[in-house]
Amino acid sequence: MVDLGITLYTSVMDPTTSYVVDATTSDFLTSVVNRSNTTPVLVDFWAAWCAPCRALGPVLEQLAAEYAGGFVLAKVDTEKEQALAQQFQIRSLPTVMLFNKGTVVTGFQGALPAGQIRQFLTTHGIHAGGAPPMVLSDDPAERVVQLRDAVANTPTRDDLVLELALAELAHGAFDEATRLIEGLPAARYADPRAVRARARLALHARLAQLTDAGSPHAIALHSLLQGDLTAGLEQLLVLLREEKALEESPARVALVHALQLVDDDAVVRDWRRRMAAVLF
């Protein structure tokens, strides 16, 4: 066999979970069509040689675990199940179809990012755990109580644990927020909201260590934590110029955390260039 340099896609799903199944021609009626009468079924038509399939597959499996019963992911290997591929006229891979109440209702093609797939699922009434999102109070203290109850009732819902951590952070319970975030599974720990929360906690910790609340460092950190990112970044850049000879520049460390609060990649790249110009 000629080595084409292609890494074959291997499913990362846990065979013990009911959220992800391999669907075949012989059991498709049971595993997909009939099952969709009670739970939406997302069918992933894929092939081992398909690079976009190898990118999309783990994302879908991660979402199936995250949604914890909100939908079932049924995987169809089109090389092995050519009859199914022909029946559903699969012309492009990957192709994803959503079955509900025994029929195909919609779908998409290509390796979409997790955020777009979440939006797709929400648009079609699919929520984590099969339940609609909670209506949370605008009051920080009440929000914490609501989420603590929700996590106590469904401790495996790491999406709710992250929501609770964010609520604790907003309420000023930094130690509890840190404990919750550090206990998240790897996939949820890498969630952009968790990354921003860790950065905010790090900045709070640095601010707490400063003895002079009126120092330039403290003023810069206050600006960042109050949402004035531009003012905070500008002040830290000034401090970086003053500290560039230091082996461990407090301003540089704070800038790294501060840039994690920015969700605009172009802005982050610009500030990194400005930092590099100062340092090198």
User: Which of the residues 53, 111, 180, 233 is marked catalytic?
Assistant: 53
Is 131 one of the catalytic residues? no
Q: Convert the chain into a string of H (helix), E (strand) and C (coil).
A: CCCCCCCCCCCCCCCCCCCEEECCCCCHHHHHHHHHHCCCEEEEEECCCCHHHHHHHHHHHHHHHHHCCCCEEEEEECCCCHHHHHHCCCCCCCEEEEEECCEEEEEEECCCCHHHHHHHHHHCCCCHHHCCCCCCCCCHHHHHHHHHHHHHHCCCCHHHHHHHHHHHHHCCCHHHHHHHHHCCCHHHHCCHHHHHHHHHHHHHHHHHHCCCCCCHHHHHHHHHHCCCHHHHHHHHHHHHHHHCCCCCCHHHHHHHHHHCCCCCHHHHHHHHHHHHHHHC
Is there a catalytic annotation at residue 239? no
Q: For residues 188 and 72, what is the distance between their CA atoms, to the nearest angstrom?
A: 20
From 23, 50, 84, 236, the catalytic residue: 50
Q: Which residues are catalytic?
A: 50, 53
